[in-house]
Structure 1
C-alpha cells in the first residue's frame, strides 16, 4: 500500500488498520492529528452513536474509511489490527465507559488504546485485564504526560549515578480536592478523577508506587497528599485551583542525593547537578568554584521548547506527549508486543492509588499491593574536627559550621574536604 510519509513523500508499506470508537472533540483535536505523522497507521473505520458525526469523521480522515453506529457491527465487518477508544463518562453514574467497551474489543483479540481515565476503580481495570488475557492481546492507556519528552528526560535524569536515589518530591497541580473523593456524580469528583490520573501516572513512572498515603483538605478545596514509599522516599502533592489562571498548571520537583530536577508547565525542565554554592558567610562569588571536577561551565542545565522554526517538536501534540503515546501504540501493534509504558498493569497501580485516596482525611492508609513502610528514622551522628592552628577540638557553632574557641578558626561541617577559614 502506498501512503504519505512524514515529509509528504510517497512510501510503500503495510500500515496497521485502526478503528476509532468515539467521535468527540478530544478525538478530533488530540488523537487524530498526531496520527497524521505516523504513516504506519491508517484509520480504516469510525464508530459513533451519531451516524452523521461518524460519517463526517470518516470523510475528514481523507481516506476510504467506513463508518458505523454499532460497535459489534464494526468489529464483525471490518478487518482491523487495533482499535482506538475515546468514549468519556456515563451520564448517570459518572463512571468512565471504558471497561465494558474495551473488554469486548480485547476478547476479540484486538489491541486497544484508550483515553484516560481508564475506569472508576481497580475492579474496572481488572475486568479489562481479564479480557486481554482471554483474547491474548493488550491495551495501552492514554496517560500522555508519561510520554512527553520532558517527563521522559526527567526519568533519565533521576537514573543518573550522580543524582543518587530519589529521596523526596513535590508535585503541584491545578485541581481541587473534592470533599468526597470517588463521587463521580459531582463535578468536583469527576474533575478530580479526570485530572489527577495525570499526576498519579507521572509519579508511577518517575518515582514508583507509594506504600502509604495521608490526605489533608482545607475548606476551600485546597488539599495536600502525603506519600510514603517503602524505600524511605517521601513526597507531597499540592492540589488547588485557587492560583491565577495565568500561572503554570503544574510543577514537579524531584530531589535525589545532592542533585535535583524541576519540571514546570510540563515543558520547562531544569536540572541541578551535584555542586557547592561556596562556604556560608565568606563566599565572594555566587558562581560555583572552578576545579578539576567542576569546570567553568559547571552548573544547572535548562531545557525548553523551541518555537521559532517549523519543527514538529514545537507543536503541542509533541510537547504534551500525544504523538509519542500514539507512536508507541502503533509500534506495539505492528510488532505484536505489549507496550512498555502505560499498560493495564500501570493503570491498575494508578487506580489503586486513587482508590486509597477515597476515605477520611488526616489518617494514614496503606495502598493495596504495595510493601509496608518499615524504615527507621536515624539521628545524624556527631562530627569531630580538630583545629589546624591550635590542635584543639572544634565546637559545633550553628548546625552548619564548627569553630575553635581558642583562636576563632571556623570551618564547614557539610563537607570534610572544606578548607578551614579564619
Structure 2
C-alpha cells in the first residue's frame, strides 16, 4: 500500500478539529501529514492549548466555542476527540449532531455514546442532513486485522467456524452497572475487542456471560453467520504480558493474531507423509508451511509507526477519502456503533443468562 503525503493530494478536506488534549495530539493530529487534510481550525475549552495545538499542526484559527467555529469556518468535515461529561456520558452524540446540522461530516472517537438510543439519535440526524458519522474503531484498521480479514474471506478458507479473543478488562459487579461513573472504563474499553470480533465475524446474535469474583469474564457468542466464539476478558494478567490475542478457525485453516502485530496463517495443506504412527518428520512439504508476518523496527518505514500499527492513520485517511468521495463509510459506521452499544447494554444485565442481541440495523424513521 503506497501512502501519499499531505502535500501530494490533488484536493484536501477542509477540516476542523474539536478537542486538543493529549490523545488528540499523540494519535489523531499526528496522522495529518499522511492524509488529505487542510486544517482550517481547532477548538478546545482551553484557549492557550487550542492556540498552541493549532500552531503545531498548521491550523489557521483557534476557538473555544465549537458552535462559533462551525458558523465561521463552515468546514466540510470535523474530527472530535473529547472526554466524558459530568454524568459520565461520552460527549460525542450531541457534538456530532451539531456538526451534521452545520453541514459537516463527522469522525468521532470511541466510545461513541453511552446508549443505543443516542446512536439512533445520530442516525436520524444523519438521515435528515445527508451527512455521515464515522466512528474511531481503530482496531478495524489495524494492519494485522485487515490482513486477517483478507485471508479468512478467501474461498479456500471457507466460512468461519470459531473465533476466540482475549483482552485485558474487568466487568464491574452487577450493583455498579447502572452507574456510568463506575462503568466508564468498561464502556471505554469493551469497544476494542468487540470491534475486532464484529469486523472479522460479523454481527453477534446472542451472548452468555460468566463472571468471576475478580471481575474477569468469559463470554460465549453466537454469531448471525452461524459461527460461534468466545471473548476472554482477563483480570489480573501480568503487567509485562502481551495484551491481546485473536484466533479465527475455518475449514481451510486458522489465523492467529498475537499482540496486534504478529500474524500467522496455518493453512490446511497436505499432511506429513507416512500417516499417524509412521511419519518421521513434522514439517512436510513447503506448501504446508505456516505464513507469518510481523513488522521490523529498523527501517524508517511508515508501517513501523504506532499511528499506522494502531490504525489511527488508516482510519483518518479512510474517513477523509469518504468525505472527498461523498460516500458513507463501510467500516467504523453508526451501524457498527449501534451493535456495540447493544452489546454493552447486554453486559449491564445480570450474568449467567442467554441474551439476544438485536441484529436489525437502526430504524431512523
- 1:264-413 to 2 correspondence within 5 Å? 264-278=258-272, 279-288=275-284, 290=285, 296-369=286-359
The residue number in structure 2 matching 1:57 is 53
Whether 1:68 aligns to 2:63 is: yes
Q: CA deviation at 1:137?
A: 0.8
Match of 2:13 among 16, 28, 33: 16
Q: CA deviation at 1:79?
A: 3.2
TM-score (norm 1): 0.81
Deviations 1:366-388 (A, max 9, x none): 112359xxxxxxxxxxxxxxxxx
Q: CA deviation at 1:241?
A: 3.3
- What's the RMSD between the two structures over aligned residues? 1.8
C-alpha spacing 1:81/1:216, structure 2 compared with 1 (3 Å): same
The residue number in structure 1 matching 2:255 is 261
Give the whole-Å Cα distance in 2 for the aligned partners of 1:257 and 1:263.
Answer: 18
Question: For structure 2, which runs of at least 5 residues remain unmatched after alignment?
Answer: none
Q: CA deviation at 1:12?
A: 7.6
Match of 1:105 among 80, 85, 99: 99
Question: For structure 1, which runs of at least 5 residues remain unmatched after alignment?
Answer: 291-295, 372-422
Give the whole-Å Cα distance in 2 for the aligned partners of 1:67 and 1:282.
Answer: 74
Give the whole-Å Cα distance in 1 for the aligned partners of 2:71 and 2:111.
Answer: 27
The residue number in structure 2 matching 1:83 is 78
CA contact (8 A) 1:104 1:131 kept: no
Match of 2:209 among 202, 215, 224: 215
Question: Does the residue aligned with 1:44 lie in a helix, a strand or coil?
Answer: strand
Give the whole-Å Cα distance in 1 for the aligned partners of 2:269 and 2:13.
Answer: 49
Give the whole-Å Cα distance in 2 for the aligned partners of 1:202 and 1:305.
Answer: 20
Q: Which of 1 and 2 has higher RCO (CA within 8 Å, sep 6+)?
A: 2
Q: Which has the larger radius of gyration?
A: 1
Whether 1:242 aligns to 2:236 is: yes
C-alpha spacing 1:12/1:179, structure 2 compared with 1 (3 Å): closer
C-alpha spacing 1:164/1:89, structure 2 compared with 1 (3 Å): same
C-alpha spacing 1:370/1:77, structure 2 compared with 1 (3 Å): closer
The residue number in structure 2 matching 1:25 is 22
Give the whole-Å Cα distance in 1 for the aligned partners of 2:133 and 2:196.
Answer: 18
CA contact (8 A) 2:164 2:231 kept: yes
CA contact (8 A) 1:109 1:132 kept: no
Question: Does the residue aligned with 2:199 lie in a helix, a strand or coil?
Answer: helix
Equivalences, count? 355
- 1:117-156 to 2 correspondence within 5 Å? 117-156=111-150
